[in-house]
Amino acid sequence: MSLNIERNIHPCLAIFDLDETLIAADSASLWIAYMVKHNLASEELQQQEEAMMKAYAQGKLDMADYMRATLAPIVGKSQQEINTLVSSFIESDILPAIYSDAVARIEWHKKRGDDILIISASAEHLVKPIAKHLGVENTIAINLETINGVYTGQTHGVLSFRQGKIDRLESWLNNQSNQYRSSYGYSDSINDLPLLQHVNKPFAVNPDPALALHAQMNEWTIMDWRHDNNILR
């Protein structure tokens, strides 16, 4: 199924996954490690998160369970407090992990006049500010519940994971004033196979073995941004 446009013909939409696609790491995993380093989370949680990420790599992760566990350290903390921590985290851990080829590809789309959208299965408190550093305003991420500006540790709405990315994308498109004549999709993970099958032009970027095999069998373009000296410093 592809994104088809009937309203005002507009530039293409370029959809990027975030973790291991635009950056050489998983932002949620780095965030847990950052909180452990600053005594805001336990080493036990980090070990639990690492085990869950192995399940993710195998396409077997229960995202709801993952979010319940990894959001525990921010329960009861204000958005302002977390925003301050995330800002420091991005400077120390995320910016050095951004692929230079990722930045170049985003700029390539911008020069074409395309719109850019980052869709991630990480939480919005990480994805939105990281996207801004990449010069991208449009994001879809896992939404976090707050009450009076304080995190509850709960999510709300459809989780932007696997099929949920498509559901959230369709909802986002329905709220746009224009539609797109074509769509590009970029991801590293077999978990994003539904999304890549949904766009007109899929790209397997730094693909895991399962996605690499699927891409080869279906003659998709494979892009590897993991080569030496390809990380922004």
Catalytic residues: 17, 19
Using CA atoms, how far residue 27 sits from 75, 92, 94, 103, 113, in Å, is: 19, 12, 7, 17, 28
Please list, in sequence order, all residues whose beta carbon lies within 8 angstroms of the beta carbon of residue 218, skipping any fewer than 6 positions away.
none
- Give the separation between CA 186 and CA 15, rounded to whole angstroms: 6
The secondary structure element, H or E, covering residue 123 is strand 115-123
Coil vs helix vs strand at 202: strand
- Give the separation between CA 144 and CA 142, rounded to whole angstroms: 7
